[in-house]
Amino acid sequence: MDASIEKIDEAGSSLWQDAWVKLRKNRLAICGLVVLLLLGLVSLLTPWIAPYGYEEQNLILGASPPSAEHWLGTDIFGRDMLTRIMYGGRVSLTVGLIATAVALMIGVLWGATAGFVGGRVDAVMMRLVDILYALPFMIFIVLLMVVFGRNIFLLFFAIGAVEWLTMARIVRGQVMTLRKQEFVEAAYSLGLSQWTIIRRHIIPNTLGPVIVYTTLTIPSVMLLEAFLSFLGLGIQPPQSSWGLLISYGVETMEEFPWLLIFPGLTLSITLFALNFLGDGLRDALDPRTSKD
């Protein structure tokens, strides 16, 4: 009897616990996770560990290639690239995190509700998505900036508010096929409330595509921020972000290639890590992939 009770305690574990067990066995995904955690940690500690100040100029030095003093070289104002990349990471990672979280929240809830309720509600909700799609997002963001003033968090939010549209469509499509499945009807006949059904039976089954799309959203959000900053709508020099560093690096790529290579490399490593982690998560959250 004792033995069987022990078994049950184990049985209490859920999808997420099982997923964690499986994820730990996926070496690539764990590498990705470690890289991302390291990047996050460095960004957090940047003000204390950065070798130079981010606006510390050395006009006499100018753009210099990597050296013992400046490991990743300096830009045309003689500012240390390593420092600027570290500070840039703070902005880029935050924008990736916040904007994607916003997109994820709105998109999944919106899409799940529209797909689940269906009928007129669905039609109205999705037409709204269509309208927002048709609206040039630049105008949308400029409008937000004008009304609320320039604020970096508002910017993050605005980007998220643009990126959720595709997410909503993906989730809606998934939910529409799911809600006709018998296990959802079974949940109905058990007397579960609609919200419980969405939360427990629908959303977990949409996770696969959602995770994949999320890992695609994070880089596009980072690049969007760079684009907006480049236009003067985002953050302003001397502040920096990876996207901004890359776009300045592109301008001088022939004379000073290190200004492009190092921020580009950092971004690429981040994206690789994200994708490995995303793929790992997708597999881990699918009970049909084997546990070993």
Partner 1 sequence: MALLEVNGLKVHFHTRDGLVKAVDDVSFSVDCGETLAIVGESGSGKSVTCYSLLDLLPKPPAKIEGGSALFDGVDLLTCDSTQMRSFRSNDIAMIFQDPMTSLNPFITIGEQLIEPLIYNPDKSRAQTRSAARLRAIELLDEVGIIDPEKRFDCYPHEFSGGMRQRVMIAMALINEPRLLICDEPTTALDVTIQAQILALIKKLQQKRNVAVIFISHDLGVVAGIADNVIVMCEGTVRETGDTEAIFYRTQNDYTKKLLAAIPEGAKVMPSRVQQDSPMIEVKNLKTYFRDYSKPLAGARSEKRYIKAVDDVSLHIQRGEILGLVGESGSGKSTLGRSILQLAPITEGSVHFSGTEISALSRHQLIPWRRKMQMIFQDPYASLNPRMTVYETLAEPLLYHGLANAKTINHQVQLLMDDVGLARANLRKYPHEFSGGQRQRIAIGRAIATKPELIIADEPVSALDVTIQAQVLDLILDLVERHNLTMLFISHDLSVVRYISDRVIVMNKGVIIETGETEALWASPQQPYTQQLLEAIPLADPKSERARLASAS
Give me the residues that bind partner 1 (CB under 8 A), please: 4-5, 7-15, 18, 181-183, 185-193, 196, 200-201, 204-205, 207, 285-288, 290
- Minimum gap (Å) between residue 130 Cβ and partner 1: 22
- Minimum gap (Å) between residue 152 Cβ and partner 1: 38
Q: 33: how many CB neighbours lie within 10 A of its CB? A: 19
168 CB contacts (<8 Å, ≥6 apart)?
Answer: 106, 107, 108, 110, 111, 114, 126, 129
236 or 289, CB closer to partner 1?
289
49 or 199, CB closer to partner 1?
199
67 or 196, CB closer to partner 1?
196
147 or 190, CB closer to partner 1?
190
C-alpha angle 16-17-19 in degrees, rounded to nearest 5: 60
- Minimum gap (Å) between residue 192 Cβ and partner 1: 6
Cis peptide bond upstream of 51, omega within 30: no
- Minimum gap (Å) between residue 191 Cβ and partner 1: 3
C-alpha angle 209-129-173 in degrees, rounded to nearest 5: 35
48 CB contacts (<8 Å, ≥6 apart)?
Answer: none
- Minimum gap (Å) between residue 169 Cβ and partner 1: 22
* Helices 152-178 & 203-230 angle (0-180, nearest 10): 150
138 or 186, CB closer to partner 1?
186
Q: How far apart are CA 22 and CA 18, in angstroms?
A: 6
